[in-house]
A and B are shown apart, each in its own frame.
Chain A
Amino acid sequence: DTGVSQNPRHKITKRGQNVTFRCDPISEHNRLYWYRQTLGQGPEFLTYFQNEAQLEKSRLLSDRFSAERPKGSFSTLEIQRTEQGDSAMYLCASSAGTETNSGGPSYEQYFGPGTRLTVT
């Protein structure tokens, strides 16, 4: 399968614990994005990478959230000291986008199945 994969698919954790999610993008895609989605809402952009460079991280929800893509391939999203409000679906997407005049990605995104986080 050459689609975007995410692990784990489900994570239940206790408040205050740290969690880490992994995303493996489509191999030829150089852009990788993280989103959060809560029930009834569209995906909320968190951050994105062009290869290993994190180009936008101001939308990360707090300093408890961090993301890495050390070798420009897979990425991890870590949430430290989880809170009940962090319960959501965390989606990863990849694209083959290149820079545009507007500075934003220009190509369609391919999403993974998501990791559903429940904080108890």
Chain B
Amino acid sequence: SQKIEQNSEALNIQEGKTATLTCNYTNYSPAYLQWYRQDPGRGPVFLLLIRENEKEKRKERLKVTFDTTLKQSLFHITASQPADSATYLCALSYKLIFGSGTRLLVRP
């Protein structure tokens, strides 16, 4: 069956450093992949969408890569800030499957 894996352990980093979150999937050949941010008690907020023919996509301090051979996406936040602390979800758009998310904590 299809499966998406995100690191269930929280990522704890120092302000100013780069945060890197991983999303691995199996048994899929998605045409695109999305990343969302979710704060406690709120709905997810769309961040970036990357298509299978795109290797990398950037938006301000955010960067996403998509390796269809490895079946993996990496999500980077550069110059991280405490306000970036949240749970980050990846989602394979085909059949709308979300990972369980990785919690990021940025220490001041």
Give 16 new A-B contacts, CB below 8 A, not counting A111-B44, A114-B43. A41-B100, A41-B101, A42-B91, A42-B100, A43-B89, A43-B98, A45-B96, A45-B97, A45-B98, A48-B96, A101-B31, A103-B94, A104-B93, A107-B49, A109-B46, A114-B41
| B43 (CB) vs chain A CBs: closest residue | A111
Q: Identify whether the interface residues of A are mostly helix, strand, loop, or mixed.
A: loop
Chain A contact residue count (CB 8 A cutoff): 27
Q: List 30 A-B contacts (CB under 8 A).
A: A4-B43, A33-B96, A35-B98, A40-B100, A41-B101, A42-B4, A42-B100, A43-B98, A45-B95, A45-B96, A45-B97, A91-B43, A91-B44, A100-B31, A103-B94, A104-B31, A104-B93, A104-B94, A105-B93, A106-B31, A106-B32, A108-B34, A108-B49, A109-B34, A109-B44, A110-B46, A111-B44, A112-B43, A114-B41, A114-B43
Q: How far is the CA of A108 from the CA of B36 in the complex (A)?
A: 9
- CB of B99 within 8 A of CB of A42, answer yes
| A97 (CB) vs chain B CBs: closest residue | B93
Q: How far is the CA of A100 from the CA of B42 in the complex (A)?
A: 29
- CB of B43 within 8 A of CB of A105, answer no
Given A44-B98, A105-B93, A114 contacting B42 (CB threshold 8 A): yes
Q: Is there a chain B Cβ closer than 8 Å to A72's Cβ?
A: no
